[in-house]
Amino acid sequence: MRRSLWVLALLLAAGGPALAQETPDPAVVAKIEDQAFNHSQVMNIAFYLTDVSGPRLTNSPGYFRAANWVKNTLTDWGLSNATLEPWGDFGSGWELDKSYLALKAPYYQPIMAYPKAWTASTKGLVSGAVVLVDAKDSLALLNYKGKLKGKIVVFPNDDTLAEPFKADAMRYVDTDLAKMQEPLPERRRGNPDSARMAQFRLRGAFARQQAAFLKDEGALMVLSGNTRGKDGTLFVQSWGGNAQNLPAGLTDMVIPIEDLHRIIRLVKAGIPVELEGEVKSHFTDNKGDKQGYDVVGEIPGTDPQLKDQLVMLGGHLDSWHSSTGATDNAAGSAVMLEAVRILKTLDLHPRRTIRIVLWSGEEQGLFGSRGYVKNHFADPTTMDLKPEQPKVSAYYNLDNGSGRVRGVYLQGNEAVRPIFASWLTPFASLDASTLTIRNTGSTDHVSFDAVGIPAFQFIQDPLEYDTRTHHSTADSYDHLSAEDLKQAAAIVATFVYQTAVRDQELPRKPLPEARPAGARPF
């Protein structure tokens, strides 16, 4: 029923041969949908990426468990050239061996805390009184000189809890999608000397200075919280950046905002607060190798004229560490893997080569995709193109949680609109029909976009991504939506297939200008 309707719609709408060429073959779409919905492996894939692999912090053992599972699985499925490919120097990974925190006075109560990534170990089980450190600058810090030895440091925080009258999860409704289609003024390229950047740098510099001061003064640990993390959900990242730019030696844990507020209220009321805690962690690397690795695999093209051209798809495989990175981004990784499994299983003889790459170092700055793009296609600071750059017809990315696909961000590429509109036609009944000219950022497609390769991120229903799971202790398998992931796999597989069999490569935007080496890249 659903299929016959869209075929009819296509027949009625078909304006000419150009559009007709873009029309997905209903028989192929039917096979893809049958695989995606009736023979789905997407939750099984997600199980291995999350529950079995564990947290996938870049260069941690969990990341390599997942990456090797992906490599072996791609090989088992019959893909070619499955490998872990180094993209450049990342630095050490990091892994927890022990984490414990509790209130000890005025009474005992365990605190559901989680250490930030790359945080230092304590010297075994330690305990100390809490001191509130309220300093806006290095001068104010001097007030605490000599007062922090053996203490546990908390910063003032009077955030209110996030709104409980609003549901955590949402799906886009028509008005959201319509609003999304209004073009925005193009975002100004980041200017490294702008006031905002300067302020950002100052804040970062003071945070590092403060951390060094606290360490020098002999503080035992620092506790922090944030408002998004209510009800027991913690949002946990690192000090910022990756291991290399962290001051070593200060233990830094995230605690529930409610506990942080409790501690602050007690201290302010003059009631001594004592905590005990233990963090044991170690930096990890791959036998001294501090390179970061992406995972690659291919379905070779079958058209002698086109098989050296590429259709690429991917998402980042690495995660933050306080859960198993289910919606960020086992979801996207599993969908991309499921899409290539479907295409390989169906043996559809793509004309171009299909290459999947799952990235690492995304959470610390899109490092894995930036390194890969620089190695294969172009350095965005020079824009000298390598021979492979013109051969990539498109890169497709998925990294907005577990929600079904509602459409595509065209990333400013108006010429692809009619093509994608045709490709989405079979999926209107699955609620995926929105195309917006807007850019979306913050994930790996921008590494490709920056060197002139057509690169797209899909629009996905947010579900709980922005409220509960993104970088949090709640980002686990149970927060995945199987039906949403199946729909996404069907659509991605179709887009990749269409790109692989199209006569021409996808139209490109004008090549961007080279960007200053010191600029924040995207």
Cβ burial, residue 123 (10 Å; 0-12/13-18/19+): exposed
Closest residue by Cα to residue 458 from 413, 411, 412: 411
Does position 418 interact with a second copy (CB under 8 A)? The reply is no
Of the two residues 201 and 265, which places its CB atom closer to a second copy in the complex? 265
Judged by CB under 8 A, which of 95, 252, 298, 338 binds a second copy?
95
Of the ranges 353-361, 388-396, 461-469, 491-499, which one interacts with a second copy (CB under 8 A)? 461-469
SS (H, E, C) 166-223: CCCCECCCHHHHHHHCCCCCCCCCCCCCCHHHHHHHHHHHHHHHHHHHHHHCCCCEEE
Residue among 40 and 397 whose Cβ is closer to a second copy: 40
CB of 12 to a second copy, least distance (A): 36
Pairing status of strand 455-460 against strand 114-115: unpaired
Residue 112 lies near a second copy (rule: CB under 8 A): yes
Characterize the bridge pairing of strands 93-105 and 274-284. Answer: antiparallel
H-type alpha helices, 107-161: 138-141
> Could you tell me the smallest distance in angstroms from the CB atom of residue 160 to a second copy?
8
Binding mask 494-513 for a second copy (x = CB under 8 A): --------------------
Binding to a second copy by residue 98, rule CB under 8 A? Answer: yes
Cβ-Cβ contacts under 8 Å for 471 (sequence gap 6 or more):
235, 236, 237, 320, 322, 328, 363
- Return the number of the residue (74 or 257) whose C-beta is nearest a second copy: 257
CB of 478 to a second copy, least distance (A): 4
Amino acid 137 reads D
Candidate residues 135, 170, 385, 437; the one interacting with a second copy per rule CB under 8 A: 170
Supply 456's token pair.
């797209």
Query: Least Å distance between CB 321 and a second copy?
Result: 9
- Judged by CB, which is closer to a second copy: 67, or 410? 67
Question: Applying CB under 8 A, which part among 186-194, 330-338, 355-363, 468-476 lies near a second copy?
Answer: 468-476
Strands 405-409 and 434-436: parallel
Residue 165 interacting with a second copy (CB under 8 A)? yes
The distance of closest approach from Cβ of residue 42 to a second copy in the complex, given in angstroms and rounded to an integer, is 15
Cβ-proximal residues to 182 (8 Å cutoff; 6+ apart), any chain: none
Residue 113: Cβ within 10 Å count: 22
> Percentage helix, strand, coil, to 5, in the chain?
35, 20, 40
User: Do residues 501 and 494 make contact, with C-beta atoms less than 8 angstroms apart?
Assistant: no
Question: Judged by CB under 8 A, does residue 97 bind a second copy?
Answer: yes
Cβ pair 353, 299 in contact under 8 A: yes
Interface residues for a second copy in 208-247 (CB under 8 A)? Answer: 230-234
Toward a second copy, which CB reaches closer, 96 or 506? Answer: 96
Q: At what angle do helices 331-346 and 482-501 cross, to 10 degrees?
A: 50
Mark residues 252-291: x for contact with a second copy by CB under 8 A, - for none.
Answer: ----xxxx-xx--xx--x-x--------------------
Min dist CB 46 to a second copy, Å, is: 11
The answer to whether residue 421 forms part of the interface with a second copy (CB under 8 A) is no
Give the number of residues in contact with a second copy, rule: CB under 8 A: 58
**Strand 274-284 relative to strand 80-89, pairing:** unpaired
- Nearer to a second copy (CB atom), residue 419 or residue 474: 474
Out of 78, 106, 249, 441, the residue judged to bind a second copy by CB under 8 A: 106
Q: Which two tokens stand for residue 226?
A: 């944030």
42 in contact with a second copy (CB under 8 A): no
Binding residue (CB under 8 A) for a second copy from 24, 62, 91, 314: 62
Which residue, 251, 187, 246, is CA-closest to 218?
Answer: 251
Nearest alpha-carbon partner for 259 in 236, 283, 229: 229
Among 26, 61, 300, 507, contact with a second copy (rule: CB under 8 A): 61
Residues that bind a second copy (CB under 8 A): 47, 50-55, 61-62, 65, 95-100, 102, 106-110, 112, 114, 161, 164-171, 230-234, 256-259, 261-262, 265-266, 269, 271, 324, 463-464, 468, 473-474, 476-479
